[in-house]
Amino acid sequence: MVEQTIDHRQQTIENTVWEILENVKDPEIPVISVVDMGMITAVQLQTSDFRLRTCSITMTPTFVGCPAIDVIKKNIHEEVMKLGFDEVEVKVDFETKWTSDRMKDSAKMKLEKFGLAPPVMLNDDELTEAQLNNVRCPHCHSTDTTLRSAFGSTLCRAIRFCFSCKQGFEQFKPI
C-alpha cells in the first residue's frame, strides 16, 4: 500500500515535470515547446523520504549542429528546478533519433499558423523528391508550390515559393 502511494506520487511528479516542460520553447520557433517537438525522450526521477532529489531529463536534438541546444538545455534546467529538485540533469543523446515525424499534430498546426509550412511525414525514413513537393503554402493554402532551396535561415528550414499567392515562404524540413 505504501509502495503504491509512492508510485502514485512519483507519477504525479513526473506528470508535473512534463507539464512544466511545455514552458520551454524552441528559441528559433517560439510557438512550439520542446515536448510538442518530440525532443524529450525520457524523464527520470529520484525521490527519497518524500523529497524531490534529482530529475534527469534526456533530450534528442533536431539537428546535430543546432546552435540552440545549449540554450534549450539551460531553459529546461531553469524551468524544472522551479519544482524544487535538489538537482536537475539534462542529457543530450542520440539513442532515440529525432525525426520530424516525432512532431505532434498540434505542433504542426501551430507551425503553419506561425507561417512555417510543417514537414510531411517520412515514415520509412527515406527522403524522396516527391516528399519535397506537394507542400501547402501557410499563407494561402495552395499546394502549387516549389522548393527554391533546401537551405534557409536556420538549419531546420527550407525556402519555398508559392505560385498561387506569389510569395516566398519557409518550410520546416522533413528529416
Instruction: Note whether 124 binds other proteins by CB under 8 A.
Output: no
The CA-based angle 116-127-66, given to 5 degrees, is: 55
Instruction: Note whether 77 binds other proteins by CB under 8 A.
Output: no
Site string for other proteins, 3-42 (x = CB under 8 A): ----------------------------------------
Question: Which listed range, 7-15, 39-47, 78-86, 90-98, lies at the site for other proteins (CB under 8 A)?
Answer: 90-98
The maximal CA–CA distance of the chain, rounded, in angstroms, is: 65
**Gap between the Cα atoms of 107 and 104, Å rounded:** 5
Figure out which of the listed residues 21, 32, 66, 76 binds other proteins, where binding follows CB under 8 A: 66
Provide the minimum distance between the beta carbon of 172 and other proteins in the complex, in angstroms, as a whole number: 13
**Gap between the Cα atoms of 100 and 53, Å rounded:** 33
Is 159:152 a contact under the CB 8 Å cutoff? yes
Instruction: Note whether 109 binds other proteins by CB under 8 A.
Output: no
